[in-house]
Structure 1
């Protein structure tokens, strides 16, 4: 069994004295964030229209900042629910457009249908029918694992997905929209499933690019790939690539969708692979199998340019985090450029690194990823790993990914290799011993709506730079993360890591899937120390869980190794804007309100019944639960509880059988304790000590009038984090059971 060590100490410095309370100075939240984010993030050609900016008919504006609610995965934690057939959402265009991206949510395994219509001066310009399903979405996170199906204790995530398309009417004629046109999204299916709209993005897609001079097209003879025919084009692509590489020509993929039923493992040197544009050329990988698709560059590749393509896949699973199905992976040698790409629905968008024995290791240097859209993948957006150096991601949108949006990773990887020896398949493990990642940079990107882990993360390495980025709506992790939680080089050779002039809006979480609250900027160490890290001149807006957090003590002003300087915190009251937005939506009827209330009451009743059953089971197991050969695990930190522990201090939370042994799960009763300033405490070496009984619902014991040694048995003690009126404190809880009369 694998267990992740829980954060041993979480320090969140709210910086309350630095909070400035602004007033609403814009008509909508979108306008507010546009003004605040000027000069931060990527500059890309689309204009976003948040659903709450629209006008609804039989539509409901949903907003919540409660952990695990669907709204928390939405931009601004708000979306609009189209409640039934003919529910609609209407926008007035602020800019000309002919292409659209739609972000939406539906329950798992649901489908729906929308009609998109455009009016100009009251007259219909055209309509487009859009079929929706969420077959690429929905995952379930439990601590360090991600599952395809919901299991006990898991959290639903990846509940939003996207579709993008040219605004062609049902006759396949392109509609050229103008400022002032009215675009309406109307629900046309009769299903009862929820269908929610988060936002749309509209832009003017450029015309398709023709074949460059001195190029080979995969549709040329003898390759003869045929677009949009649903047939495998792998051989045509690989044969054309081989000839283009040999003849020093560009490989061109023209307009249309080209299908591939396998991973394209390629070698390319001093060449360009290009398409007709992200709106016109699609590379679609049809396999759902592990390692079934994507492009992997062999370590003989170098000086590659790849651009103007859209890539996606039919991957539906992370395969217990071993999918090995990246959009682009492998080694790109020196001076390669990936730009104007759109990658989604892979395990990771781009993962750079070689995974072979140390003496065979090759490295990527001076790679640039730019002007790209890397979205809705199961894990990282972009990860520079295995000694990648002098490489950067710039001016790109990284959205809706299921692990760090952008990361550089100085690991010492251990790799499982499957091979056949004399016809017999065997598995062996190698230690790659790659060099550390160095001098990598993430510059002027927009990283948003990551549904697991951080917006941007540095997992070791040296001399990296994170600057000018907009990180927004990261509610299951921190906005920026610096860590040594993986074995590797960590920051041993670092001379200067610079994290400066970034804007973080609505980042941080009250539960990192281990029960820990993380602030907008989080530091975590396990395998090594933090060294020479500069965090300066960043702006943090509406950070609900504070500015900095760490699993070790770090003062507000930083340490000798971590510089924290001039990081501005701003808190803006959004309630007036929300109130104005709600005026554009029809409220729930009394019957709908009653149905929602009844549903919540039923859920609460069910939860209470489950709790009582668990308590009865815990009583049945008694204090000897640890002595019957079972393995006892604390549910949240996944650490083994010794048999000598006092199980009165835990709630029983169920059991399983694994390899013939009973595994029992327990939750600390600390989680049922809530402190307030009226409670009495004692001071021991400057630490506050509060007293409680270890009952199923722990009861506070006042100091006044209590003879602890005479009337109570001492049961044990533990630490708890308390957000007191004086600030965040770590205090001690001491448990006592009354002696029988």
Structure 2
């Protein structure tokens, strides 16, 4: 187009406008957050997901913002960002859609029933001029008491002989016995529900969530908004409908799945599960088969938890939906949701979304909800790739590589609200080796750690984003615990970001580090490299190395190297050393440090030669946290230093 023509078009668009009129500046759309942080603070870390997350506490509301609070057993502490919005009946919270949206996920909490078991309540959902509702439930939340927890809010202590920090005593050795108020240690408050909106709404539309009178209160933590694509259709496959599967969910389709799998293996076809809800109340055994759904918003495989009259050979006392390998290989599962029905933690139960052993396999694009563990693999097995999954609201772990899982990858998964470690490698009996956890996002593990490595050889944890661990664990962990094989070769923690970690350890009554190394059953002396990590807004310490007190003179932690680290905010120290051994530090920059840079207690023997833990300065450690007088092993021990809450993290 010629310049004169372009000018004519511009003039034509302006014709009729008053001489004094100005273009109206559009209202900026919300950018969304990642782990309640501005996305720039987490760039390059965590999973790439198809939804945008918005925190309720930053939205318009007629309710009350609760938090921030990091005290365990409180509603704000378990919320993303440690804050949420509490609504009385009739009150609302209103978000602005940042992008075109046809589906939402609401993370919420509503009260338990007085005697446990949960309640249900509708939640009003208004988008633009359209109104609908979704059903909230607390049937899958609200646990109480000591591990492995109870569903009964009125239950007495499960373990009367355990140390109870609330009363600083061993109850059965105390006269009179302490009175523990009920409900004791309520936790696991939150759940989430998805809702397809039926049509696409454009960016800038308002979405209002309104609490009903069926619940005394409703807490909204966050809203995920998403534009879900069309369902996948596969015409050249063994369609489960042809084998009797019921897409309405009214009758059990497990046998139909078995028949479709058997036919597909003989015919060398994939199994296709079209849109619908399929009732499956037991394990589907998979080997040398590909099972594809239409997408995890469209294909939902949902089961009831079934009590067994006698325990199964694997000691399970319940059955539930799950896909299991039995020394299987060449299994490929993708594009569907697994909706379990697990409401209590029974460690002997095999009621996981994915389980068993399946080598040379892939798990991709699943949504796994309300199972005990999302994916629990019992080796030996090798070469499994777990990618692009959403694993939420688990009673226990999100994923666990247990015993001899090797040469495998867990990448680009989103894990929220697990009841134990979100991602773990547990080298019980046989080492897990040469595995990588990369670019995963982990939020609000209620118990234990974001990512935990228990022994093993040549494993890597890289480019992950871990936020808001609640108690008795933290963001990143390596431990000689639980009967694990020794660490050998190397263990790399590289380019991860943690936020609001470094939590309180209930049993020890001390603060942990965002990353913590724990020698309980063996020395830790493999080559451990912690390189390029960012530890943001740490409740207590950024780094902790520790041995349990009864074995403090038996085990040490050595050969650990910290390099190119950024630490923005600690409630207490950069490093808390409560073990013998030592570590090197190079280019570790820290600011907003709440206490002495190194809290060096060593083995607590306090010899005149200095602490039993030595710090080696390799240079470039900025921010004043590593004062020369602390080197190499000055005793600076303050067992429980006061906490100075750090400011919110900001660009470096």
Q: Say which of 229, 234, 238 aligns to 2:254.
A: 234
Structure-2 residue corresponding to 1:301: 328
**Residue-by-residue CA offset, 1:289-335 (whole Å, 9 max, x unaligned):** 3341233434342111100010011121112x2222111001112x2
Structure-2 residue corresponding to 1:54: 59
CA contact (8 A) 2:342 2:395 kept: no
Structure-1 residue corresponding to 2:217: 194
CA contact (8 A) 1:260 1:284 kept: yes
Match runs of 1:106-125 below 5 Å: 106-108=110-112, 109-119=118-128, 124=129
Structure-2 residue corresponding to 1:97: 101
Residue 155 in structure 1 maps to residue 177 in structure 2: no
Distance in 1 separating the partners of 2:466 and 2:196: 28
Q: Say which of 358, 363, 366 aligns to 1:332.
A: 358
Match runs of 1:602-681 below 5 Å: none
Q: Note the C-alpha offset of 1:687.
A: 12
When normalised by structure 1's length, the TM-score is 0.65
Q: Note the C-alpha offset of 1:550.
A: 2.9
CA pair 229-537 structure 1, distance change in 2 beyond 3 A: closer
Q: Note the C-alpha offset of 1:566.
A: 2.7
CA contact (8 A) 1:284 1:312 kept: yes
CA contact (8 A) 1:92 1:182 kept: yes
Corresponding residue SS for 2:53: strand
CA contact (8 A) 2:377 2:400 kept: yes
Distance in 2 separating the partners of 1:523 and 1:497: 12
Distance in 1 separating the partners of 2:282 and 2:606: 65
CA pair 408-228 structure 1, distance change in 2 beyond 3 A: same
CA contact (8 A) 1:233 1:258 kept: yes
When normalised by structure 2's length, the TM-score is 0.74
Structure-2 residue corresponding to 1:561: 559
Q: Note the C-alpha offset of 1:288.
A: 4.4
CA pair 559-536 structure 1, distance change in 2 beyond 3 A: farther
Match runs of 1:357-436 below 5 Å: 363-412=380-429, 435-436=430-431
CA pair 60-191 structure 1, distance change in 2 beyond 3 A: farther
CA contact (8 A) 1:533 1:561 kept: yes
Structure-2 residue corresponding to 1:680: none
Match runs of 1:77-92 below 5 Å: 77-84=82-89, 86-92=90-96
Match runs of 1:478-493 below 5 Å: 478-491=474-487
Question: Which structure would you say has the larger RCO, counting Cα contacts within 8 Å and 6 or more residues apart?
Answer: 1
Distance in 2 separating the partners of 1:91 and 1:112: 21
Corresponding residue SS for 1:261: coil
Q: Note the C-alpha offset of 1:127.
A: 1.4
**Residue-by-residue CA offset, 1:684-725 (whole Å, 9 max, x unaligned):** 96699xxxxxxxxxxxxxxxxxxxxxxxxxxxxxx9824279
**Residue-by-residue CA offset, 1:362-391 (whole Å, 9 max, x unaligned):** x32110000110111111101111201011
Q: Say which of 272, 275, 278 aligns to 1:258.
A: 278
**Residue-by-residue CA offset, 1:147-203 (whole Å, 9 max, x unaligned):** 222444642221000001211xxxxxx12110111111112x224522100001001
**Residue-by-residue CA offset, 1:593-636 (whole Å, 9 max, x unaligned):** xxxxxxxxxxxxxxxxxxxxxxxxxxxxxxxxxxxxxxxxxxxx
CA contact (8 A) 1:475 1:506 kept: no
Q: Say which of 238, 252, 255 aligns to 1:216.
A: 238
Corresponding residue SS for 1:236: helix
CA pair 212-405 structure 1, distance change in 2 beyond 3 A: farther
Q: Say which of 270, 274, 279 aligns to 2:292.
A: 274
CA contact (8 A) 2:426 2:454 kept: yes
Distance in 2 separating the partners of 1:28 and 1:277: 24
Report the aligned-residue RMSD.
Answer: 2.6
Corresponding residue SS for 1:241: helix
Distance in 2 separating the partners of 1:70 and 1:140: 14
CA contact (8 A) 2:539 2:570 kept: no
CA contact (8 A) 1:59 1:88 kept: no
CA contact (8 A) 1:470 1:503 kept: yes
CA contact (8 A) 2:408 2:435 kept: yes
Distance in 1 separating the partners of 2:262 and 2:606: 74
Structure-1 residue corresponding to 2:629: none
Q: Note the C-alpha offset of 1:508.
A: 2.3
Structure-1 residue corresponding to 2:579: none
Distance in 1 separating the partners of 2:423 and 2:52: 23
CA contact (8 A) 2:322 2:338 kept: no
> Larger % of helix: which?
1
CA contact (8 A) 1:381 1:406 kept: yes
Residue 441 in structure 1 maps to residue 464 in structure 2: no
CA contact (8 A) 2:393 2:417 kept: yes
Residue 345 in structure 1 maps to residue 370 in structure 2: yes
CA contact (8 A) 1:141 1:513 kept: no
CA pair 722-180 structure 1, distance change in 2 beyond 3 A: closer
Distance in 2 separating the partners of 1:133 and 1:722: 40
CA pair 410-28 structure 1, distance change in 2 beyond 3 A: closer
Q: Say which of 713, 718, 723 aligns to 2:641.
A: 723
Where does structure 1 lack aligned partners over 5 or more consecutive residues?
1-25, 168-173, 355-362, 413-434, 574-682, 689-718, 727-741
CA pair 404-684 structure 1, distance change in 2 beyond 3 A: closer
Distance in 2 separating the partners of 1:687 and 1:28: 53
CA pair 445-298 structure 1, distance change in 2 beyond 3 A: closer
**Residue-by-residue CA offset, 1:544-565 (whole Å, 9 max, x unaligned):** 11111232399xxx96421122
Distance in 1 separating the partners of 2:540 and 2:561: 20
Q: Say which of 568, 571, 576 aligns to 2:569.
A: 571
Match runs of 1:519-538 below 5 Å: 519-530=513-524, 531-538=526-533
**Residue-by-residue CA offset, 1:517-574 (whole Å, 9 max, x unaligned):** 22111111222221211112210010011111232399xxx9642112232210299x
Distance in 2 separating the partners of 1:99 and 1:538: 34
CA pair 546-60 structure 1, distance change in 2 beyond 3 A: closer
CA pair 260-411 structure 1, distance change in 2 beyond 3 A: same
Q: Note the C-alpha offset of 1:114.
A: 1.3
Q: Note the C-alpha offset of 1:101.
A: 0.5
Corresponding residue SS for 2:538: coil
Q: Note the C-alpha offset of 1:28.
A: 9.3
Structure-2 residue corresponding to 1:21: none
